[in-house]
Chain A
Amino acid sequence: MSNTSENPNPSSSSAKITLKTSDNELFEVEEAVAMKFCTVKQYFEDEKDNDVAARGSSTVIPLPNVHSAVLARLISYCKKLPQSNAVADNHEEEETKKKERKQYGTPGDLVDLISAANYLDFKEGLEFFNQALADHIQNKSVEYVRKFFGIKGDFEPHEEEKYREEYAWAFEGVDED
């Protein structure tokens, strides 16, 4: 995994912040990128206020809820942030955006990204990955969603039956992939 030791450009002048993930990987990231994560920003500012900033770039911000694999992908997302999350004006634009969202992996990966983005209070990322996950759920049957996300259908048998009755008419247009 990438970490500080692999930094290809150590002479960069911009300020860096070091983030430490749950699996003890260290990430040295540009301040501008790190500040997109409100949780990090808050931590960083609190540190400053406490006048620990004297230690400068040596500050390591621990992120005990974020795995290195997930953080790496969040950082990569930050760098090529799509221009906007605004609702697409036309069909073509919407399709392009959908493709873009598809690049971020399986629904399982997305759940990790969402969880991390939520913990880091990274609003743009959260919106983007939420939409990517919604795209996955969009045309799927209830059974598929349950199986795929490991959710247990916990309705009583008579309730479950009701749902089957209700939806006997509605299975048109559902993907079963």
Chain B
Amino acid sequence: MDSSVDSHSLLQPSCEVKRKRSITSMNDLPDCVLMEILVLLSLPSVVLRCKWVSKRWFSLITTPHFARRFVTQHPHVHHPFSLIFYYPDCCSNQRLHITTNSETQNESELKPLAAYLHNKCDPNTSSLRASCNDLLLWCDRAEQMVQHCPPVTMVFYSIINPFTRQCLALPPRLVPHPHSSSLGLRVGIICSYDYNNDNQHSSSFRVVLIPWSISKFTTQFNVHIFSSDTGEWSDSVVLCPPNLDGFKLSLTPLSAIPYKGFLFWSIDGARLLGFDPYDSTCCCVIEKPVQLEQFQEIDCLGLCRGRLRTSQVSGYPYRNEHPCLRVWDLLDFDKDSNNNGGRAGGKWCLKHELYFNQMVSEKSPWLAQYVTRIFPFVSVLAFHPSDADIMYLTIQSKVVLCNLQSRTLEVFCDIPQSGLGHHFIRHALTFVLPSWPTPLPFTETGWHC
């Protein structure tokens, strides 16, 4: 040891050091240093809690620059997700189910999310209608305006980020009186947040409503679009893609899936309608998967590893043959080459085809037995957003994890107190936490609702 300082005694602070009050306070540290400390916190939830320490911390944390630094600092974080769905219980009340998988630290991030949504969203008076990453479109309530002729309905939507607990109420919107109980609207939300843009402090989003119609749209259809940039609703008349013999929105209201700047809804003939809310003249149709069983609709539409994915359980319920689960991914969809003719681009490619009688279950052998019997009732709930081999089914009041590669079925969770109506569970909304949570515009009126 050839120095003036004895390192051992210094590692255990000497009495003198212990007695001395610290010289610097946290308040004296420059912004850049404080930011470098906060960037090292392990999880977005921890950072978001810390923003409430003081105004200074708040303003440091809520910048695109901070988001960028945080994402660079934690590059390999996988994205925890929740599945959110409704089902009728044994007393025919609607219930909201939110799965969270808390095997890892990152996934326990989402635990408080379920409590928050359960408290906020009464499943019997309101409903979560669509999702885009960590933003949810929530229909708070709908009021019929009977004095109008023809009758109209006032709908109240909000955008919720249950992770940051931001909630933004959209201005109420009049829509034609619904024809059916499901409010007769097909809705979707698409958002973009680019933390590489220093001027973008919050996300830009669009909410799209398409009034459902029993008759075919042959030449044009109406859409209502809310833009976060203007804070207003606007109406557009969209021309149907040419060379298309019209279309009908499908009866099953699968929620719209945002993909490559388009929102996709299922339409008749197991096709998809894509609509670009940022350019309301732009829409397209994707033809049905070739191997799809005829006269049936697709069971589920979602995103998996950034690709649009769909599936069908075939052979059920009208045929006396073993049901087969097919999964397709959309390939070669190119937004820009899509303007020529409306049909260009996007081909479904069959990724998996497996028969339920080939499936096994190690922990719940009854599952394998159940699916091999005649007419099992299996419905597709959701796709795993990042693992292409995994999807979620509902079977007998259970959410079942299906591994397409190993052909196994295992119980993922129970659906508590589900009545017979579990047969009518629509597919789930997928909530996926991005590397940095999507911030909503920060306004006095809409910040909390």
Contacting residue for B11 out of A67, A103, A112, CB 8 A: A103
- B5 x A72 contact (CB < 8 A): yes
Measured CA separation A133–B33 after assembly (Å): 12
Question: Which of B13-21, B91-99, B125-133, B237-245 binds A?
Answer: B13-21
What's the nearest-Cβ distance from chain B to residue A7, in Å? 4
- A142 x B111 contact (CB < 8 A): no
B180 contacts partner chain A, Cβ-Cβ < 8 Å: no
Contacts of A108 in B (CB 8 A): 21-22
A126 contacts partner chain B, Cβ-Cβ < 8 Å: yes
Within 8 A of B (CB), among A118-177: 118, 126, 130-131, 133-134, 137-139, 141-142, 145-146, 149-155, 162-163, 165-167, 169-170, 172-173
What's the nearest-Cβ distance from chain B to residue A27, in Å? 6
What's the nearest-Cβ distance from chain B to residue A38, in Å? 15
- A73 x B40 contact (CB < 8 A): no
- Residue total for A at the interface (Cβ-Cβ under 8 A): 62
Pick from A2, A139, A146 the residue with the most CB of B within 10 Å. Answer: A2
- A172 x B111 contact (CB < 8 A): yes
- A149 x B13 contact (CB < 8 A): no
Measured CA separation A165–B1 after assembly (Å): 57
Contacts of A112 in B (CB 8 A): 22-24
Contacts of A8 in B (CB 8 A): 1, 4, 6
A9 contacts partner chain B, Cβ-Cβ < 8 Å: yes
B79 contacts partner chain A, Cβ-Cβ < 8 Å: no
- B6 x A2 contact (CB < 8 A): yes
Contacts of A118 in B (CB 8 A): 29-30, 33
A51 contacts partner chain B, Cβ-Cβ < 8 Å: no
Contacts of B40 in A (CB 8 A): 130-131, 134
Contacts of B149 in A (CB 8 A): none
- A28 x B4 contact (CB < 8 A): yes
- B49 x A150 contact (CB < 8 A): no
Pick from B27, B111, B165 the residue with the most CB of A within 10 Å. Answer: B165
Contacting residue for B55 out of A9, A109, A154, CB 8 A: A154
Measured CA separation A153–B55 after assembly (Å): 8
B420 contacts partner chain A, Cβ-Cβ < 8 Å: no
Within 8 A of B (CB), among A44-62: none
- B3 x A7 contact (CB < 8 A): yes
A39 contacts partner chain B, Cβ-Cβ < 8 Å: no
- A138-B41, A138-B46, A154-B55 known; A3-B4 Cβ under 8 A: yes
Contacting residue for A29 out of B3, B23, B41, B108, CB 8 A: B3
Contacts of A70 in B (CB 8 A): 23
B362 contacts partner chain A, Cβ-Cβ < 8 Å: no
In the complex, residue of chain B having the shortest beta-carbon distance to the beta carbon of A174: B49
- B23 x A2 contact (CB < 8 A): no
- B36 x A79 contact (CB < 8 A): no
Within 8 A of B (CB), among A95-124: 103, 105-106, 108-109, 111-112, 114-115, 118
B366 contacts partner chain A, Cβ-Cβ < 8 Å: no
- B22 x A111 contact (CB < 8 A): yes
Interface string of B57-98 (1 = CB under 8 A from A): 110000000000000000000000000000000000000000
Question: Which of B112-120, B224-232, B310-318 binds A?
Answer: B112-120
Measured CA separation A75–B8 after assembly (Å): 11
A76 contacts partner chain B, Cβ-Cβ < 8 Å: yes
Contacts of B49 in A (CB 8 A): 141-142, 167, 170
Contacting residue for B7 out of A4, A79, A137, A141, CB 8 A: A79
Pick from B49, B50, B108 the residue with the most CB of A within 10 Å. Answer: B49
Within 8 A of A (CB), among B156-199: 165
A84 contacts partner chain B, Cβ-Cβ < 8 Å: no
In the complex, residue of chain A having the shortest beta-carbon distance to the beta carbon of B6: A2
What's the nearest-Cβ distance from chain B to residue A127, in Å? 8
Measured CA separation A9–B50 after assembly (Å): 47
B25 contacts partner chain A, Cβ-Cβ < 8 Å: yes
In the complex, residue of chain A having the shortest beta-carbon distance to the beta carbon of B117: A169
Contacts of A1 in B (CB 8 A): 14, 16
What's the nearest-Cβ distance from chain A to residue B111, in Å? 7
Measured CA separation A151–B41 after assembly (Å): 18
Interface string of A72-97 (1 = CB under 8 A from B): 11011001100000000000000000
**Extra A-B contacts (4), CB below 8 Å, given A112-B23, A114-B33, A151-B26:** A1-B16, A105-B13, A115-B29, A145-B50
- 4 residue pairs, one from A and one from B, having the closest CB atoms: A108-B22, A134-B40, A12-B2, A76-B10
- B residues contacting A by CB (< 8 A) are 1-7, 10-11, 13-14, 16-17, 20-30, 33, 36-38, 40-42, 45-46, 49-50, 52-55, 57-58, 108, 111-112, 115-116, 119, 165, 447-448
- A residues contacting B by CB (< 8 A) are 1-4, 6-9, 12, 14, 27-30, 33, 67, 69-70, 72-73, 75-76, 79-80, 103, 105-106, 108-109, 111-112, 114-115, 118, 126, 130-131, 133-134, 137-139, 141-142, 145-146, 149-155, 162-163, 165-167, 169-170, 172-173
6 A-B residue pairs with CB within 8 Å = A4-B4, A33-B3, A80-B7, A130-B37, A134-B40, A155-B55
